[in-house]
Structure 1
Amino acid sequence: MNNSLSISLTGLKGLQQQLDSVSNNVANVNTTGYKKKDTVFQELLLNDVTGTVDVSANANDIGINRGVQVSQSRVNVSQGGLVSSKGLYDLAISGQGFFGVRGADNQLVLTRDGGFGIDQTGLLHNSSGDRLEVDYLVPQGQWPAGSPSIREDGTIFMGDQAVGKVLLFTVDNPNQLQELGNNKYGVNGAVLRTSQMSSQGFGTIKQGYLESSTVDLAESMSDMIITQRAYSMNAKVMQATDEMMQRVNEFKQ
């Protein structure tokens, strides 16, 4: 393939991935606990330009690259704003931790969406039916009557009796988090730590609050416009290259 076409093609592929990521961020601007995704580009092989081209003596590191690629699409784990909620079991994390939830396959995944409720079996769960990871000191069905109080370290009290503890999780490298959809993340081989033994370094839990999305709508819309324009420019370069190649072929004939 012609070098110009190849370079434009890598640009189109990379910009399409970025556009998909930005569009997903915009779609989740009001999603509780959503963490926006950032796209990181990497330059492909750089071929140095030597004596075959006349350049200024002051020019340094002159070269022609082979295009770009998306090196990674990482989760931005910055703190979202905390919004007051009337839900009795609504929780928000102030800090770096994640809630752990288990679905029908019993696989542990992470989330920052703290909109929880009580299911028919008396277990805490989210809107998808995934069970919140809790270290129960007293089985849920044997809790004393009353309303639960969840302290900042995750300890659940019914009156003066501690009945359990909401566990938080962190990973040493957030870039290893794998987005699974529905506001959930897989650990993807990352080193996982839990607050079961200590609450330090996991953040604090705020009952009666929910964490808002970290997406800045104005910033995301600007990124979308810039990406669309860059995509259009790459497409025009590819079209112009194709037209020049057609003219060259006509001369050969």
Structure 2
Amino acid sequence: MTMPPPPDVPGDQGMTPSKPGTVAPPLAPAKRSKALIVGAIAGVLALCLLGTCVVAVGALVATRMDDGRQPSAADGPPPVLVPTTPPSPSTEETYSPPEEDPTTEEAPPPPPAKIGQCIAVNEDGDFLGIGNCNGTSGTYRVVSLDYGQGECADPESGYITEDGYRLCLELHLVRNYCYKFPKNDGWIVAASKCKAKGTVHIIDIVPGASNGNRCTRDYRWNRWYRFTHPTVVYCVMQY
């Protein structure tokens, strides 16, 4: 609830005493105060047209307070000050990836074979191409390759170099197929004709064995060969 303003009480603040039966004229400062209020209202309307009502209303309230008069119900509801919202900073961010230094190294060529594939070689170990691992072509299987030609995982395993790659290999022979073994150092190749002189026919394969004791007794064989890297025994019929 808003209390009504107190009545004006005459005092000795520069007022001229009135005679009985007469009303003392209002003091000149009161006129100036009203003029200031009217002028302030006119200024507020002008400023509102310029979009600055908030600041003008605040000035009007301050003027009323300086006038010494408390607001009454006739003045209407107090002005509502609407805070202005400052523009929010832009949240859009730009990202510039760092520039990559140009490389002068050439990309390596595609490898001649992939890991797990079987390849064919001649008796000197020259690369003849990709074969298959079912015995018809290809006597060595690729276990690793390295364009930097570093050492194989097993330094004792055989390898060849082709197109700048070191291909680390393991022997891969298939039961019931014929091959030609070298007399000394050399590479095992597929036999051009099975049961020809100097060829061997694979009868049994025993991984991890150290001799022919575990070779099959169901089929005839006359010789066994043990290889390492990996360790395996081939039980063969040699012609």
Q: Same fold (TM over 0.5)?
A: no
Work out which of the two has the higher radius of gyration on C-alpha atoms and give 1 or 2. Answer: 2
Using the size of structure 2 for normalisation, the TM-score is 0.26
| Higher strand content, 1 or 2 | 1
Larger RCO (CA within 8 A; separation ≥ 6): 1
Using the size of structure 1 for normalisation, the TM-score is 0.25
| Higher helix content, 1 or 2 | 1
